[in-house]
Amino acid sequence: MAEQEHEEHTKGGVYSVKGKEYTRDDRYITTRITKDGEDGFKVEPNRYRLVAARACPWANRTLIVRRLLGLEDVISVGMPGPTHDADSWTFDLDEDGLDPVLQIPRLKDAYLKRDPEYPLGITVPAIVDEQDGAVVTNDFAQITLDFSSEWSEYHREGAPDLYPEHLREEMDKVMRYIYTEINNGVYRCGFAGSQEAYDSAYDRLFTALDTISERLENRRYLMGDNITEADVRLFTTLVRFDAVYHGHFKTNRSKLSEMPVLWAYARDLFQTPGFGDTVDFDQIKKHYYIVHKDINPSQIVPNGPDNSLWLTEHGREALGGSPFGNGTAPGPVKPGEEVRPEGRADA
């Protein structure tokens, strides 16, 4: 099972309690989709729909892993818009405001289809059973690991092994550290309820970033010569760092672009097929700056930074290795799933 890491579970997203450290709810629908169907949901092509907003770092992971493994033709995807109200993510980017497959205006409808009294937050990513329109799982940490293991029969030819058996023990420790200290660390800063809580969170975050930077000085990827899920999990925080976290969450000791090793590493991944082509900077900024009204009451979305810098030379090839090992890069993005022009780094 995945290490226990978790997304916010409030009706309107994350929140803080004044004077206290931000903590993240850990209650999830942990039903799994497996080869043997032990939980009642068997791996089956064209049965399940991944609902994943591009704005959300946890959902962004699932989009990257789905693409790297070539699961686009067996697991469909629905993408809510970047903003939501206190009640639910909505499909406001789709025609008539309805998901074209599920035919619902709000993700909440799929949660209520599973449990009419569903008491927790309406989070992405979520996997919905297209047969009855009910959510199967929103346990994002397990979803991507199951994409690697349980869906292996449907991986594309040349797909990378993102969760290698011989590395799992070490990987689980690395991913746990990345989650607690970095993925969740930026939120701990942004939603700190007191100066003391913020100061502690700030120090903890940058200690971790420095530690990971040292790890990456002489190795191209977190686990060695090839990409793994650990890199996916770190990337989705790094790609949001300068656009959102540095200012909005007050993680401002350094910009990512001022941390040479991490900046080069992040650009290397961004320029790898399957990573940057899932990132929509416009949606990322709109989500954080508009939804988090307690942090940004004006809801003004900043114009910067210059996202074209993500396409500049990184020089990480000198460390050797190759992203896909003995495999190959994924092909072009599936038609209809392309990032909108205004959200791309080359816009």
pLDDT tens readout for residues 208-260: 999 999 999 999 999 999 999 999 999 999 999 999 999 999 999 999 999 99
* pLDDT-based confidence at residue 13 (cuts at 50, 70, 90): very low
Answer whether residue 5 shows pLDDT above 70: no
| 289 within a domain of the structure (yes/no) | yes
Write out the residue range of the structural domain in which residue 326 sits: 165-343
Answer whether residue 16 shows pLDDT above 80: no
Answer whether residue 329 shows pLDDT above 50: yes
Answer whether residue 91 shows pLDDT above 70: yes
| 183 within a domain of the structure (yes/no) | yes
Question: In whole angstroms, what is the distance from residue 250 CA to residue 301 CA?
Answer: 15
Six-digit token pair at 179? 């989650």
Q: Among this protein's residues, is 111 annotated catalytic?
A: no
Residue 124 contacts residue 135 (beta carbons within 8 Å) = no
Q: What is the pLDDT of residue 12?
A: 36
Eight-state DSSP code of residue 178: H
Helix (H, G, I), strand (E, B) or coil at 69: helix
Answer whether residue 11 shows pLDDT above 90: no
Q: What is the pLDDT of residue 3?
A: 35
Q: Within a 10 A sphere around the Cβ of 110, how many other Cβ atoms?
A: 27
Residue 27 contacts residue 10 (beta carbons within 8 Å) = no
Query: Among residues of the chain, what percentage have pLDDT more than 70?
Result: 95
Q: What is the pLDDT of residue 27?
A: 84
The strand ranges marked E within the chain are: 48-51, 76-78, 126-129, 134-137
Six-digit token pair at 153? 């029969």
Question: What amino acid occupies position 75?
Answer: I
* 89: phi then psi, degrees, rounded to nearest 5: -70, 145
Question: In whole angstroms, what is the distance from residue 157 CA to residue 190 CA?
Answer: 41
**Residue 274 is part of a domain; what is its CATH number?**
1.20.1050.10
The mean predicted confidence, pLDDT, of the chain is 94
Out of 48, 56, 202, 221, pick the active-site residue. 56
User: Residues 268-284: what's their mean pLDDT?
Assistant: 98
Q: Which residues are annotated as a binding site for glutathione?
A: 89
One DSSP character per residue, 137-162 reads E--HHHHHHHHHHTTGGGPPTT---S
| 147 within a domain of the structure (yes/no) | no
Residue 127 contacts residue 51 (beta carbons within 8 Å) = yes
Q: Which of 7-21, 23-37, 52-66, 311-325 has the lowest mean pLDDT?
A: 7-21
Question: In whole angstroms, what is the distance from residue 186 CA to residue 205 CA?
Answer: 7
Strand order in 126-129's β-sheet? Answer: 76-78, 48-51, 126-129, 134-137
Q: What is the pLDDT of residue 26?
A: 74
Residue 162 contacts residue 149 (beta carbons within 8 Å) = no
| 231 within a domain of the structure (yes/no) | yes
Answer whether residue 347 shows pLDDT above 90: no
* pLDDT-based confidence at residue 97 (cuts at 50, 70, 90): very high
Answer whether residue 9 shows pLDDT above 50: no
Answer whether residue 316 shows pLDDT above 90: yes
Out of 179, 187, 288, 289, pick the active-site residue. 187
User: Residues 163-167: what's their mean pLDDT?
Assistant: 97
Q: Among this protein's residues, is 177 annotated catalytic?
A: no
User: Residues 123-149: what's their mean pLDDT?
Assistant: 98
* pLDDT-based confidence at residue 19 (cuts at 50, 70, 90): low
Question: In whole angstroms, what is the distance from residue 144 CA to residue 67 CA?
Answer: 11
296-307 pLDDT tens trace: 999 999 999 999
**pTM summary value:** 0.94
For residue 34, what are the β-bridge partners? 42
Question: In whole angstroms, what is the distance from residue 279 CA to residue 270 CA?
Answer: 9
| 244 within a domain of the structure (yes/no) | yes
| 134 within a domain of the structure (yes/no) | no
Domain total in the chain: 1
Question: In whole angstroms, what is the distance from residue 66 CA to residue 219 CA?
Answer: 25
As to burial, measured by CB atoms within 10 angstroms (0-12 exposed, 13-18 middle, 19+ buried), residue 134 is middle
Q: Within a 10 A sphere around the Cβ of 85, how many other Cβ atoms?
A: 11
Six-digit token pair at 84? 């939501």
Q: What is the pLDDT of residue 85?
A: 85
| 155 within a domain of the structure (yes/no) | no
| 259 within a domain of the structure (yes/no) | yes
The residue among 161 and 1 whose pLDDT is bigger is 161
55-71 pLDDT tens trace: 999 999 999 999 999 99
Answer whether residue 15 shows pLDDT above 90: no
Q: Which residues are annotated as a binding site?
A: 89
